[in-house]
Chain A
């Protein structure tokens, strides 16, 4: 028994490796990557991520023995006054769950990226960036691991900022590409700045926590929450709401979601890993981790639930009007994150983590499959232009502006099913899982959220059901537009299945998307019993058959409707309008234009802000302040010119000056005596 315990504890002390293995990968690739070639770089990076996964699995096995977990201190970071911050790793069921999801999905995506980036760097004409990509990816894994394994708010913030940086770097990976050569750089900037607003909220929350609790350590803070909730409910309200602002930034909720669709400018594996499966769930993780605080302020919970629900609905509507294959998935991600946030607001943290996990599987799968489709399209584009020659003399491959060559526009696709059968099957699995069709993973996790909503707040329940309906509908639309019908462009005609390096990770993810529901299977509730050791679970999850059947029915109806609209009569050509455009009229145009939220922000926030900045920069700074400074300068220079004239060069003048000085001194002294 003692021996077992010793083994367990030594297993727990492995936890720093989840951070340091990826860092080791960075160092190796940085130092030796140039000589290793693409295979070597990819292997090192994948092994680093895989190593993290193995450590996470070992931690999980040890946790099965000892559910309480451990705190593994690494070193003291800051120790000033009563602020004592150490880098401590927290090993408990929640953090290990996150580690498993992050490192597992990361590993698959790393492997996938070896194949994908091999093509991508050549397509974009910059093969040297292969190494840079994997260094950034490992950096992301390290930062994300710091985030989920933190034992205090500040370490969490370090990870939080770290993943934000990686997100910025990877969105702007092709920083010189995009619209007008600036598009990608702008997207990266937008993501970063939008997140800064959220980070500001999180920072304020952390300051407030330190101010009122005197510590940043999770356990100590949570212990004091009940007493603070009684004496200063307002403070707790402020903390939770400021934290929510941080969450809306990182997890792309209203009002700060606008960066995520633009973030699709990054290479597709990045979209899959960072902007679908892992980083964007950091906000959800944060709220689950601090559930004690949210539970203590029901008002804040309400706000959280509504933010999530409205985001789920709103983003679902926008997704319906998009034509870019990745944009649809991006809005879908926002919508699904809305489900998770709503679940936290409803006090169903387990459901949130459950959905987070399954979503990581099927959304990563969908993005990666979309990447596979894009690769196929790019292949087809090149093959097509070689085959026809004269037809595509104007073919510049990577400009978004030219509608016909855009390999991401679903209107250019069609009939891919036959060209890329493996991709089609895994995509279908992912789509069904997302749409919430039993027995795929998404069905179970989404159902739990709906049950919680049903028990908690009927209005939110209705909103979420509508969002679920939209989910199934836009996924049906996407699958039908991409894979069915006839090829609507040369690229689609010549599309070609991707290599095994790309498709094998897809198959594994597809398997996970099928089986993921088993994690918290109704009646068994493995995940719930697992997380129970870390989280407070106010009411156990139930499986309510009418709700389950109802949600399944909603999804099926939505898919059937999608078939009626898009399947029976596929788009005739790439230029044809969306069949919904006519019946929905203006409303479809709004959805397509994302309800003009970007334009609204531009007009309400950015425009006035820029005007203010211009005002301070030109009239105030360059006019008044510079004027004063320059005026002083020229005044001094003219004074210098005047004084200089006293220097006549005649010794008699100089003697006079001495004499005047003496007289002045003597006169002064005589008046004093």
Chain B
């Protein structure tokens, strides 16, 4: 029997999903040239859900027979997803008009995907995890191919779908193996069986490894990252921005939730794998980014590299003493990275004129001179990506490295530092092109996009003066363990 408390525990998810369904119908009566209304309605729906998330935060509830959980962690993540969604709407509004893909379904699909992410952060049952994963992924496949008349978009969509389905298969297979090892699907039950020691350890371990593969695909960890550049490049840019922030965050939400609750006992076996994945992700992401001339691809590799930094702190997931710091540092980093990433992608949206043409470094020439504020904002974002002090990126990296060092992974921290140094090269190259090369750029700047850029740049700078406030929030976002 469904209790009120069950409804209450997933109320924001239901609001987003329900609002999206309604919007799908309402949109039929909104004429093509007034799709701004759809965008506005979508944003309102997200804002209402955000209000409910904030209102219900601070509670810890297991709902629907332990299928879902509401805790500090899920509330923090949901705020992140909903704000990301609103930013993505702001970025998309002008862009999809310009690119002539102005359909109301864009916003609806985005809301469905957000509902999936929110559910992912609350899932407390492996089936729910899989369901959430599919709910967030499938709308994204469609969104990636939203410019369906463009070859690049279709190609990216198909690749993403094929590989995503491949990865989902591993998640499902892993779930099945864990079920066969423990006879349970919900986290409480699995944890109880594992604690009792009656689980089949081999099947359990292999199941865990397969889940790692599936989540590694979503967060674009090496060697499961190869789809990223192609998809990031081919998708409509607001979708890319949304993916680089929200989807990555959702992947980490799943990884943290599942691993911290279910697999601490496997850390002895999984830690070396995570170590290698983190190292490879940082190295490959940063080094291949050096060779990119296309800004979208460069940012895609940069996104891979940043996932590597977070993984570095995550390697210690089985170490009970630092795991609290791991979660806090990761959440902090997701905020810092999200702000920076949205800012940088917003600039790409400003500069991008023709769909799929791609933006080369040369297209940036002269922006610093003709649009100094844009240039300065990009400088801020690039410095934040590179982790230079007085930006949020610096503090984010600082907390991640601190966690890694606390957990004793000094070698990994050194790899992180060195690759971070290398990354300064390609980030600053952007600045060099903007400020030191002559050029005559002609840009049309939409007020919503410039709002995103301005707010992001100010937040990156100003929050870096008071980083502990965000860290304090992140530290309070406790994850319900068993």
Contact = CB atoms under 8 A, between A and B. Distances in A.
A113 B422 CA distance: 60
A636 B205 CA distance: 37
Contact of A672 (B163, B269, B284): B269
Contacts of B210: 662
Contact of B205 (A646, A647, A669): A669
Contacts of B287: 636, 639-640, 643
A644 B224 contact: no
A665 B209 contact: yes
A660 B284 CA distance: 16
Given A649-B230, A655-B162, A665 B213 contact: yes
B272 A668 contact: yes
Interface string A641-673: 101101101010111011011100110110011
- Max count, chain B CB within 10 A of own CB: residue among A643, A649, A658: A658
B67 interface: no
Interface in B151-168: 158-159, 162-163, 166-167
B345 to A, nearest CB: 21
Contacts of A637: 290-291
B269 A657 contact: no
Contacts of A641: 291
B217 interface: yes
Contact of B291 (A640, A651, A654, A668): A640
Contacts of B229: 647
A111 B159 CA distance: 88
Contacts of A644: 288, 291-292
B163 A669 contact: no
B185 to A, nearest CB: 22
Interface in A53-70: none
B8 interface: no
A636 B290 contact: yes
B159 A640 contact: no
Interface of A is mostly: helix
Nearest to B201: A673
Interface string B236-278: 0000000000000000000000000000000001001100000
Nearest to B160: A651
Interface centre among A636, A637, A665 (most CB of B within 10 A): A665
Contacts of A666: 206, 209
Contacts of B230: 647, 649
Interface string B207-231: 0011011001100000110110110
B269 A669 contact: yes
Interface in B91-132: none
Output the residue of A644, A646, A661, A668 with the most chain B CB within 10 A.
A661
Nearest to A660: B223
Contacts of A633: 425
B435 interface: no
Nearest to B268: A672
B337 interface: no
B158 A658 contact: no
A643 B283 CA distance: 11
Contact of B163 (A646, A651, A661, A665): A651
B399 interface: no
B217 to A, nearest CB: 7
Contacts of B213: 658, 661-662, 665
Contact of B166 (A640, A647, A655, A672): A655
B290 A654 contact: no
A657 B158 contact: no
B465 interface: no
B309 interface: no
Nearest to A656: B226
Nearest to B290: A640
B277 to A, nearest CB: 8
Contacts of B288: 640, 643-644, 647
A673 B201 CA distance: 9
B290 A658 contact: no
Given A644-B291, A654-B227, A668 B159 contact: no
Contacts of A647: 226, 229-230, 288
Nearest to B223: A661
A668 B270 CA distance: 10
B21 interface: no
Contact of A657 (B170, B201, B206, B223): B223
Contact of A658 (B224, B273, B422): B224
B481 interface: no
Contacts of B162: 651, 655
Identify which of A637, A639, A651, A657 gathers the most chain B CB atoms within 10 Å of its CB. A651
Interface string B417-429: 0000010010000
Contacts of B284: 643
Contacts of B209: 662, 665-666, 669
A647 B206 CA distance: 28
A657 B284 CA distance: 14
Nearest to A652: B162
B167 A658 contact: yes
Contacts of B292: 644
A106 B272 CA distance: 77
Given A666-B206, A673-B202, A654 B170 contact: no
A649 B231 CA distance: 10
Pick the most buried of B158, B213, B217, B290: most chain A CB atoms within 10 A of its CB.
B290
A637 to B, nearest CB: 6
Interface in A230-268: none
Contacts of B216: 661
Pick the most buried of B163, B201, B226, B229: most chain A CB atoms within 10 A of its CB: B226
Contact of B273 (A646, A660, A665, A673): A665
B158 A662 contact: no
Among B163, B223, B288, B422, residue most surrounded by chain A Cβ atoms (within 10 Å): B223
Contacts of A669: 205-206, 209, 269, 273
Contacts of B272: 668
Contacts of A673: 201-202, 205
Contacts of B205: 669, 673
Question: Which residue, of B202, B288, B425, has the highest number of chain A Cβ atoms within 10 A?
Answer: B288
Interface in A331-390: none
A550 to B, nearest CB: 73
B163 A658 contact: yes
Nearest to B166: A655
A643 B292 CA distance: 11
Contacts of A672: 269
Nearest to B208: A669
A668 B273 contact: yes
Nearest to B213: A662
A662 B177 CA distance: 15
A658 B217 contact: yes
A646 B213 CA distance: 20
A90 to B, nearest CB: 44
A669 B201 CA distance: 12
A655 B224 CA distance: 8
Contacts of B269: 669, 672
A641 B291 CA distance: 6
Nearest to B221: A661
Given A647-B288, A665-B273, A658 B223 contact: yes
29 contacts: A633-B425, A636-B287, A640-B288, A640-B290, A644-B292, A647-B226, A651-B159, A651-B162, A653-B226, A654-B159, A654-B163, A654-B227, A655-B162, A655-B163, A657-B226, A658-B166, A658-B223, A660-B223, A661-B216, A661-B223, A665-B209, A665-B212, A665-B213, A665-B273, A666-B206, A669-B209, A669-B269, A669-B273, A672-B269
Given A655-B163, A669-B206, 17 more contacts: A640-B289, A640-B290, A640-B291, A643-B284, A643-B287, A651-B163, A653-B226, A655-B162, A660-B223, A661-B216, A662-B209, A665-B213, A668-B273, A669-B205, A669-B209, A669-B273, A673-B202
Give the top 8 A-B pairs by smallest Cβ distance, nearest first.
A640-B291, A654-B226, A661-B223, A640-B290, A640-B287, A644-B291, A651-B159, A657-B223
